[in-house]
Amino acid sequence: MPDEAFIREGTGENFAALVLDNSRKGPVLVDFWAPWAGPSLRQGELLRRLARDYGGRFLLVSLDTDREKAVAQRYGVKGLPSCKLFRQGRVAEEVHGMQTEADYRALIERHLSPLADRAQAAALAAWEAGDQDKAIQVLAEAAMAEPDNAAVPVLLTKLLMRQGRHADALAVLAALPAPLRSGGEVRRLHTHLEVIAAAGGEGTDADLDAALALDPDDQAARFALAARRVVADDYGAALEQLAELERRAPDYREGLARGALFLVLDLLGPDDERVRRYRRSLFEH
């Protein structure tokens, strides 16, 4: 008798909950078999081994067609062995007759959710339930398992930012492979974090103003002053400083000033007159 959590015995009474409801969470493979059908016994043994190999990524339900004739008839099972894969409450795919292990694996793989999708769903569920530490842990583990997938570290970065852990968020982005760091959303997040970091630097606004009065080409001071204006929601003053920095030093920290300028324009929204004006000036250079 199946006893693992991801290998269950199906009956007419539990079929709706065990198969149909669970298929809305992930793939459920139903193995239709009978004790007298030798090939179906071999299929069942192979599917149980695969279920253990996949470690719960799909649910295997074993259904004895001799005992559960009504269920077998409802789903048109006329020969054995037979198996049907359920997704979203319905049969998504089915095979008849004994298949090779590779064929069964291909069937299962076609309906598995990517690790990144499952990790994000689990993390958001934990976050909404109030377990922020678990959410962060789930995403951190998934990010290490799939280092070339940007979706998980992007969500991890956003949650760390919501916790105020800006240095940790920057470290997550810095650890990404170079091709991923150049992606649009990753670059925007990195720019946002750089702005927050610069705004929290040492010295007062008066100190930064004095530094610029002494040396208008003090790029770090100008960026820090612009960053503080962004954090204070004084977008007009931020745009002035960033545009001036872009004019004086377009390559400042690999285009950070331009990225910050676009960040502010996004915060203002497309209907703000300043957005049209500054975008025109950017594209003229």
Q: In angstroms, rounded to a whole number, what is the distance separating the alpha carbons of residues 142 and 149?
A: 9
Mean pLDDT of the chain: 89
Residue 15 has pLDDT above 50, yes or no: yes
86 within some domain: yes
CA distance 50 to 63: 17
Among 24-28, 29-33, 190-194, the range with the most confident prediction by mean pLDDT is: 29-33
Q: How far apart are CA 57 and CA 201, in angstroms?
A: 47
In a domain, 75, yes or no: yes
- What confidence category does residue 2 fall into, taking pLDDT thresholds of 50, 70 and 90? very low
Q: Which of 52, 77, 109 is the last residue of a domain?
A: 109
Threshold 0.75, pTM exceeds: no
Residue 46: give its domain's CATH number: 3.40.30.10
Same domain, 167 and 215: no
Q: Is residue 159 part of a domain?
A: yes
Element containing residue 145 per DSSP (H, E): helix 132-145
Amino acid at 130: G
> Are 75 and 28 contained in the same domain?
yes
What does the pLDDT read at residue 1?
42
Domain boundary residue, one of 182, 217, 237 = 182
d(CA 16, CA 23): 10
Which pLDDT tens digit goes with each residue over 176-212? 888 788 767 888 899 999 988 888 888 899 999 999 9
Q: Which has the higher per-residue pLDDT, 170 or 267? A: 170
Task: For residues 103 and 40, state if they share a domain.
Answer: yes
Distance between CA 265 and CA 281 in Å, rounded? 13
Joined tokens for residue 62 = 């074993």
pLDDT digit string, tens, across residues 229-267? 988 889 889 988 998 998 899 889 888 888 888 888 888
Mean pLDDT computed over 120-132: 92
Q: Does the pLDDT of residue 118 top 50, yes or no?
A: yes
Residues 60, 125: one domain? no
Which of the two residues, 72 and 269, has the higher pLDDT score? Answer: 72
Question: Does 191 map to a domain?
Answer: no
Cα 232 to Cα 278: distance, rounded to the nearest angstrom: 20
Q: Are 173 and 233 in a shared domain?
A: no
Full residue range of the structural domain in which residue 238 is found: 199-284
Same domain, 17 and 84: yes
pLDDT at residue 36 is higher than 60: yes
99 shares a domain with 28: yes
Whichever domain contains 165, its CATH number is 1.25.40
Together in a domain, 101 and 126: no
Query: Are 254 and 207 members of one domain?
Result: yes
- Give a yes or no: residue 28 inside a domain: yes
Rounded to 10 degrees, what is the CA torsion of 264, 266, 271, 276?
70
Contact 223, 256 (CB under 8 A): yes
Give mean pLDDT, residues 74-81: 93
Same domain, 94 and 121: no
Structural domain ending residue among the three candidates 182, 211, 236: 182
Assess whether 173 and 138 both reside in one domain. Answer: yes
Q: Structurally, how many domains does the chain consist of?
A: 3
Q: Are 31 and 91 contained in the same domain?
A: yes
Closest CA to 199 of 214, 174, 220: 220
